[in-house]
């Protein structure tokens, strides 16, 4: 079935530009030596299949000895930061610097959320820096004895991030654990553009008509054509509809999604 909806009224000039949206849904933080090819990789794939946009530092940044301004910008432009804690996480000064940036960004932006994932480590070990974390910090305090404030910032960041409710693997299977994380992030992500509908001319009425045409409860395959002259708001309508309903689906068709995102940049 092919249906169409015509857009014949221009969108208000107050419509937010694509840059006003969060560029990424999730900033995934982890110690690369431990989890880049294992748990983090599987979680990354599962989130991507759900249509959740993840910042990929392998492709988008060059790693160096210091955290780059580009990395901090990526953290600021992400709606959620997900931090994976493994046993030897605190040995990596890069990961600790990244975590300190995440905490700073969270504390300066009321819209950002941080979720810890405790993989093979107990919450109290992270929060109080005991066990392997204690051993790592003994070395850091020696190495940074001329800049002990840096180490204190790392400790504070670990304590703050480990306090909120997150996910703890315990004795569960990785697959079940990842499914739970993806489901919860997708639920919290939800529709992203509800707050801007009042700024869009006639958007609510058009959305109502589109939702009827889509009929999400139906098992049919449906194609919706949005017709109109250039500049009348076709892409904006499509983006709003996607943001409102994509979280309801198990899988998003990724090639089409990436093509659509490039148009919005």
Assess whether 98 carries a catalytic annotation. yes
| CB-count exposure of residue 235 (10 Å: 0-12, 13-18, 19+) | middle
**Which residue of the set 62, 98, 217, 250 is catalytic?**
98
Backbone angles phi, psi at 11, to 5 degrees: -80, 145
Give the angle 112-117-123 at the CA atoms, nearest 5°.
Answer: 110
Backbone angles phi, psi at 23, to 5 degrees: -70, -35
**Cα–Cα distance measured from residue 251 to residue 182, given in angstroms and rounded to the nearest whole number:** 12
How far, CA to CA in Å, does 60 sit from each of 70, 125, 144, 212, 264?
9, 32, 30, 39, 18
Which of the residues are catalytic?
A: 98
């Amino acid at each position: 079935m092919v249906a169409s909806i015509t857009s014949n009224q221009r969108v208000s000039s107050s419509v937010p530009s694509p840059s006003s949206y969060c560029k990424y849904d999730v900033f995934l933080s982890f110690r690369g030596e431990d989890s880049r090819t294992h748990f983090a990789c599987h979680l990354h794939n599962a989130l991507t299949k759900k249509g959740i946009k993840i910042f990929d530092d392998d492709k988008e940044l060059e790693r160096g000895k210091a955290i780059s301004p580009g990395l901090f910008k990526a953290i600021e432009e992400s709606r959620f930061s997900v931090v994976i804690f493994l046993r030897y996480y605190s040995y990596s000064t890069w990961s600790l610097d990244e975590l300190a940036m995440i905490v700073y960004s969270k504390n300066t932006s009321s819209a950002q959320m941080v979720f810890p994932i405790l993989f093979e480590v107990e919450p109290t070990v992270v929060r109080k820096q005991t066990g392997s974390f204690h051993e790592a910090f003994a070395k850091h305090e020696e190495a940074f004895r001329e800049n002990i404030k840096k180490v204190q910032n790392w400790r504070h960041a670990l304590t703050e991030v480990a306090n909120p409710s997150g996910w703890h693997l315990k004795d569960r299977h990785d697959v079940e654990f990842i499914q739970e994380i993806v489901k919860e992030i997708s639920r919290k992500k939800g529709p992203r553009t509800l707050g801007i509908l009042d700024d869009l001319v006639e958007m609510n009425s058009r959305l109502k008509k589109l939702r009827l045409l889509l009929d999400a409860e139906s098992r049919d395959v449906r194609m919706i054509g949005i017709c109109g002259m250039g500049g009348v708001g076709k892409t904006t309508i499509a983006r709003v509809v996607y943001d409102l309903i994509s979280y309801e689906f198990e899988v998003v068709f990724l090639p089409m999604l990436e093509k659509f995102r490039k148009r919005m940049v």
